[in-house]
Chain A
Amino acid sequence: AQKVTQAQTEISVVEKEDVTLDCVYETRDTTYYLFWYKQPPSGELVFLIRRNSFDEQNEISGRYSWNFQKSTSSFNFTITASQVVDSAVYFCALSEATNTGNQFYFGTGTSLTVIP
């Protein structure tokens, strides 16, 4: 079973619109971490945010905000007033402890296109 599900494969929005990228995760652990990464067309993954399982406070950083809800196992990412530079593939990831060490599980990514 997929541990991290990003149901939206592709999204297109017009510049200045708000957009929310969904992420649903699955784990039996009580301690885990969630991440968002951005992969622009250049290909390099850029770390955006980390959230631990005990901190459900929403976080805002400029035009970016994240909504973590343990009740629905979701960690959604909202971009406000989108810009063309936001066009990228966004990956949600889960980190949990396994028998062989800490393991990262990536979702399948959401490709965001911001149209000028």
Chain B
Amino acid sequence: SAVISQKPSRDICQRGTSLTIQCQVDSQVTMMFWYRQQPGQSLTLIATANQGSEATYESGFVIDKFPISRPNLTFSTLTVSNMSPEDSSIYLCSVGWAGLGDEQYFGPGTRLTVT
């Protein structure tokens, strides 16, 4: 298993600004993922954060809007850029290993409100 922390836990931001969310895990992991969960909805994968290379984005998500860094095997950041109210959501970091059957462990999430 893994223990994951995220900062900030919540924030209220003005439209047009950017917010960087940090994800720290207590052990080295192969995979780190970023999800968005809009109110009352399921989880949507934004991207897979790759250590030492560019993130792999899912359809509908682009690097300019959601730049991601992963400088090492225990840390990643997600930036939500030029925010609009539609970006209000919970952003979740998860970690896992490379095997098909490996479960993902989730951080506590960052609750973002854009006004």
Whether B92 lies near A45 (C-beta < 8 A) is yes
B42 pairs with A97, CB closer than 8 A: no
Write the B23-50 contact mask toward A (1 if CB under 8 angstroms, else 0). 0000000000100000001110100100
Size range of the chain B interface in the assembly? 20 to 34
Q: Contacting chain B: which of A18-26, A58-66, A67-75, A105-113?
A: A105-113
Q: A91, B42: Cβ atoms under 8 Å?
A: yes
Given A43-B90, A43-B111, A45-B92, decide whether A102 and B98 contact each other with a Cβ distance below 8 A: yes
Determine if A91 and B100 form an interchain contact, defined as CB atoms under 8 angstroms apart: no
How many chain A residues touch the partner (CB < 8 A)? 26
Asked if B101 and A95 make an inter-chain contact with CB atoms under 8 angstroms apart, the answer reads yes
Cβ–Cβ contact A45 & B106, under 8 A? yes
Closest to B6 in A: A44
Residue A100 at the B interface, CB < 8 A? yes
- What mask results when residues 28 to 62 of chain A are scored 1 for a CB within 8 Å of chain B, else 0? 00011101010000111111001010000000000
* Closest chain A residue, CB of each to CB of B33: A104
A37, A45, A95: which has the most chain B beta carbons within 10 Å?
A: A45
Cβ contacts under 8 Å, A45 to chain B: 43, 92, 94, 106
User: CB-CB < 8 A to A91: which residues of B?
Assistant: 42-43
Interface residues, chain A, CB within 8 Å of chain B?
Answer: 31-33, 35, 37, 42-47, 50, 52, 91, 95-97, 100-104, 106-109
